[in-house]
A and B are shown apart, each in its own frame.
Chain A
């Protein structure tokens, strides 16, 4: 069955440190992949998306993600996190006329 998995439920990172959030997908064709961020009590903001082409995708707020077909992964990275990056991050793929979300990774930033 098609699915997207975020293996890390909660990650804590020091401010200024690098970040990598993992996302693995299970989908037959080339997936359309997305990363969304949700601040507490807020809506979903699109960070970046991958459709095709260059496998390294740049997004907003200094985030990037790399599509690796061989590993079925689409991990989100940021070289230096800021306290304002504390939020819930969702990986998603588009297929069968809808977005399917992962369970999310909660990011906590410590000073």
Chain B
């Protein structure tokens, strides 16, 4: 069964550093998403991406965040200057239209 692959599974970074979280969506999917889950809290929407542009973003997704689909297969989330409160599990998802498939997540720890 096709999977969404996320790397790394766990990343530790110092506050103020840039991080890039990587995702390989399912190849024939058209819609791509990033969500995050702070420990013990619910899953929150960050951004959706379709047709090479952001289609929707949440209040969380401020100027420190950006997404790219640089080569037609990868889908990345960049955090320019990480803060302690960015520590969370970040999930990538892709969908043909409905019915997301989520990756297993990247646990980001900012110290």
Contact = CB atoms under 8 A, between A and B. Distances in A.
Interface SS of chain A: helix, strand, loop or mixed?
Answer: strand
A44 B91 contact: yes
Contacts of A45: 102
Interface SS of chain B: helix, strand, loop or mixed?
Answer: strand
Contacts of B58: 98
A94 B43 CA distance: 13
Interface residues of A, number: 22
Contacts of B2: none
Nearest to B4: A43
Contact of A97 (B35, B42, B48, B105): B48
Interface of B: 33, 35, 41-45, 48, 55-56, 58, 91, 93, 98-105
Given A34-B99, A97-B55, 8 more contacts: A42-B105, A46-B99, A49-B98, A98-B48, A98-B58, A99-B35, A99-B43, A100-B45
